[in-house]
Structure 1
Amino acid sequence: MLSRLAESLYWIGRYMERAENTARLLTVNYYATLETSGQVSEEWGPLLDISGSKENFVRLHGRADGRTVPAWLAFDRNNPSSVSSSLAQARENARGLRDRIPSEMWECLNRAYYDLCFQNEEVLDRDGLFEFCSAARDTSQFFFGIAFATLPRDEGWLFMRAGQMLERGDNVLRLVQTRYRSHAADPAQLAVHNHRWIAVLKTASAYEAYRKCNHANVSPRTIAEFLLLNPGFPRSVRYSGENLHDALAGIDRIHPGAHPALLREAKWLVARLDHATIEELIARDQAELGTLLTDFNRIGSAISASYFTV
C-alpha cells in the first residue's frame, strides 16, 4: 500500500475517534454544569487540558467559560481538536480514497460534514449542544461500525485501527490525569470530586460497565484502575495499548522486520500496562501517567516517521 493511502486511513481513524471523544466530553460536562450550578467556569476549564488545546485557546480567547469552551471544542476550525475540525479532516482524508474504501464509509463522512461542520455558536443560542454532540458521536460509531462490517482486514484496516487505538488511549490518559490532578489538589471536597469522577466514567462511556464490576464502590482509585488497567473494557488504556500493538504487529507481518524498533516500543508499552498496578500509576503526583502519555505520543511519532515519511 502506498504510504499516502496508509497515512490517510491512519488519520481517519484518529480524527473520527477524536471527534467522538470530544463530543462525549462536551455532552457529559454540559449536564455536569447543570447539576453543579455556580461552578460553571471551574467545570469548563479542565476540558482544555483534556483536549490538549489549552495553549491555543488562551492565546485566542483568554477566559474559559460556558460559552467560549463549548464553541472552541465543538465548532472552531482554528482548533484542530474540535468536533468540526476532526470531522472535516477525516472527510478530506477519505476524499482521496473513494475508490479504495466502501462507498458507505464515504457517504457517512460526507453526510456528517454537511450536517455538522457548518454549524456555529447559534447552536449554543438555541441550546442545541446536546443534539450536535449526539450526532457527532453517532456518526463516529456508525462509521466504525460500517468499517468493521465491510472493510477488508488488510493493511488499510490495520493502519486505521492503529490510529483509532492510539487516539483512544491518549484521550483516556488525559482524562484520568487531569481529573486526578484536580482531585489531589483539593481532597476536602470529597462529594464534589466523586460526582466528577462519575462524569469521567460517563465521558468514557464506562459507567454501566464499571457498575457491573463495582456494585457499591465509587471511588477515584477504583475508577482510575478500571479506565487504565481493565483488560476487557474496550475503552481502557490497557485495551487500547494491546490493540495498538496487535495492529502494528499485523503491519509488521506484511512488511517483515521493516521497523523492529517501533514494534518493540509498542510491545514494551503493553508489558508495562500488563504488569502495572494502580498504586504505581497514581503515586508520586501521577508521574507515571505522564510517562504513559509520552509513550503513546512517541509511538504515534514513530509510526509517522516509519511509514509516512517519503
Structure 2
Amino acid sequence: MLSSTADSLYWLGRYMERAGNNARGLQVTLRMASLTGAVDRRDNAWRALLTASGCAPGFAETGAEMSQANVVRYLAADATNGSSILSCIEAARSNARRVRTALTTDMWEAVNETWSEGRRTTEATFTPDNLPAFLDWVKSRTILFNGAYADTMLRDEAWSFVRLGTMFERADNTARVLDVHHHALAGTEEGGAVAYVQWQAILRSVSALRAYQWVYHSRLDPERIAELLILRPELPRSMIACYARIEETLDGIAALHGGRRGECHRLAGEMHARLRFGRIEDIMKGGLHEFLTATINRNLELGKQIQEFYLQA
C-alpha cells in the first residue's frame, strides 16, 4: 500500500472519531452549563471543553469572548478551526475521496451522505433550540461510519489504518477529558452537587455513565471513575482498551510487511504494558494529572512515530 493511501485512511478514521468526540463534549458541556448556577463555573466548563478538544489556543487567537454561543460556533462550525465538527466532516470526506477504491460502498455512503447533509446546515442549526438535534445527528453518523468499516471491510491493510486512526484519536480524547477534570477526580475541588455533576460529565463525555453503573453498582466515586476510564479493558473507550487495539493493529500491519517494525511499535507496546500492569491506587498516589499529562505527551510522540514510519512518502 502506498504511504499516501495509508495516510488518507488513517486520517479518515481520526477525523470521523474527532467529530463524534466533539459532539459528545458539546452535549455534556451544554448540560453542565444549564445545571451550574455561577457564571464563572459555566465559563470554566466551556474553557475545559476547548482545552480537552485541543482548540483553546486557536479560540484565544480569535479574540472572541468566552461564551456559550462563541464556543459552540467555534467547535461546531467554524471553518477556520480545523477541528470543528463541520471541518472534521469535510476533511474526512476529502480523505475518503482520495482512497475511494479502498472503501466499501457502505463506508463511502456513510461519509459522503454525512458531508452532504452537513453542507445544508445554517446559522439556525446552532441555536440553543436546534443544537441538541444536530449533535445527536453527528453522533449517529460517526457511529454509522464505525459500524460500516467494522462490518464490511476486509481485515487487510486498509481496515488496519482506519482502525489505527480511530483508536489513536479515541485514546487521546479520553486522556484529555480526564486531564481537564483531574481536580474533580483527585479530590482537590469542593464536593457536593457541583462535584457530582462534574463526575457525571466525565462519564458522559465518553458514553460511559451506564457502563460505570453496570460495573460498580454504586454511587459515583472519583477513583472508580478514573479506574474505569484508564484501566478497565471492557470499556471500549478506556485508555487501556484503545492502546491494546493500537498495539494489536500495529502488530498486524508489521506482520503484513514481513515483520518490519519501528519505534512506533515499541512505544505502543510500552504504553499498553504501563496500563496493563498499572494500579489505580499507584496512579492516584503519584498524581493523576502528572500521569495523564505524561500519557498525552507520549501519545503525541506515538503519533509522530506512526507518521514517520508508515505515512510519509
Normalising by structure 2, report the TM-score.
Answer: 0.94
Task: Write the deviation string for residues 6-52 of structure 1: whole angstroms up to 9, x where unpaired.
Answer: 11110011011101110011112112222224443232111011001
Shift of 1:216: 1.7
Secondary structure of 1:99's match?
helix
CA distance in 2, matches of 1:260, 1:75: 38
1:83 partner amino acid: I
Distance 2:282 2:293 in 1: 12
1:251 alignment partner AA: I
Aligned to 1:306: 309
Q: Could you list the runs of 4 or more consecutive aligned residues of structure 1 that deviate by over 4 angstroms after TM superposition? A: 182-186
| 1:205 to partner: Cα distance | 0.5
Alignment of 1:28-177 (within 5 A): 28-39=28-39, 40-125=42-127, 127-177=129-179
State whether residues 52 and 176 of structure 2, in contact with CA within 8 Å, keep that contact through their aligned partners in structure 1: yes
| Cα separation, 1, equivalents of 2:58 and 2:262 | 36
Alpha-carbon distance between aligned partners in 1 of 2:254 and 2:242, rounded to the nearest angstrom: 18
Tell whether the 8 Å contact from 1:75 to 1:121 is kept in structure 2 after alignment: no
CA contact (8 A) 1:162 1:244 kept: yes
State the secondary structure of the residue aligned to 1:112. helix
SS of the equivalent of 1:67 reads helix
Q: Equivalents in 1 of 2:249, 2:32: separation in Å?
A: 36
Which is worse superposed, 108-117 or 276-285?
276-285
Which residue of 1 is the match for residue 214 of structure 2? 212
1:280–1:288 CA contact under 8 A, matched in 2: no
Cα distance in structure 2, aligned partners of 1:199 and 1:141: 20
Structure 1 residues 153-302: aligned runs within 5 Å: 153-181=155-183, 187-282=189-284, 283-284=286-287, 286-302=289-305
Residue aligned with 1:127, SS: coil
Rounded to whole Å, the distance in 2 between the matches of 1:48 and 1:117 is 24
* 1:123-169 deviations in Å (ceiling 9; x for gaps): 23362111111111111100111111111100111111111100000
CA contact (8 A) 1:18 1:167 kept: yes
2:4 is matched with which residue? Answer: 4
1:199 Cα deviation from its structure 2 partner: 1.2
Report which stretch shifted further, 31-40 or 201-210: 31-40
2:128 and 2:197 map into 1 onto residues whose CA distance is 27
| Range 34-43 or range 126-135, more displaced | 34-43
| 3-state SS, counterpart of residue 99 of structure 2 | coil
**1:165-192, Cα deviation, whole Å (9 max, x unpaired):** 0000000000001001356585224430
Deviates more, 1:100-109 or 1:123-132: 123-132
Q: How does the TM-score come out when normalised to structure 1?
A: 0.95
What SS does the aligned partner of 1:77 have?
coil
Quick check: 2:4–2:312 contact (8 Å CA) kept in 1?
A: no
| Aligned 8 A contact 1:45 1:65 in 2 | no
Q: Quick check: 2:182–2:288 contact (8 Å CA) kept in 1? A: no
Q: Deviations over 1:238-280 (max 9, x none)?
A: 0000000000000000113423322111111111011112233
The range that moved more, 243-252 or 28-37, is 28-37
Residue 24 of structure 1: aligned partner: 24
Q: Which amino acid aligns with 1:292?
A: T
Separation in 1 of the partners of 2:128 and 2:282?
46
User: C-alpha root-mean-square deviation of aligned residues, in Å?
Assistant: 1.7
Counterpart residue type for residue 293 of structure 2: G
- Asked if structure 2 preserves the Cα contact closer than 8 Å seen for 1:116 and 1:132, the reply is no
2:143 is matched by which residue type in structure 1? Q
Contact 2:262 2:309 in 1 (8 A): no
Say whether the 8 Å CA contact 2:185–2:226 is kept in structure 1.
Answer: no
Paired with 1:287 and 1:17, the residues of 2 have a C-alpha distance of 26
Name stretches of at least 5 consecutive residues in structure 1 with no aligned partner: none
Q: Which moved more, 1:185-194 or 1:20-29?
A: 185-194
Distance in 1, matches of 2:55 and 2:253, equals 31
- Which ranges in structure 2 are unaligned for 5 or more consecutive residues? none
Q: Contact conserved, 1:73 with 1:79, CA < 8 A, in 2?
A: yes
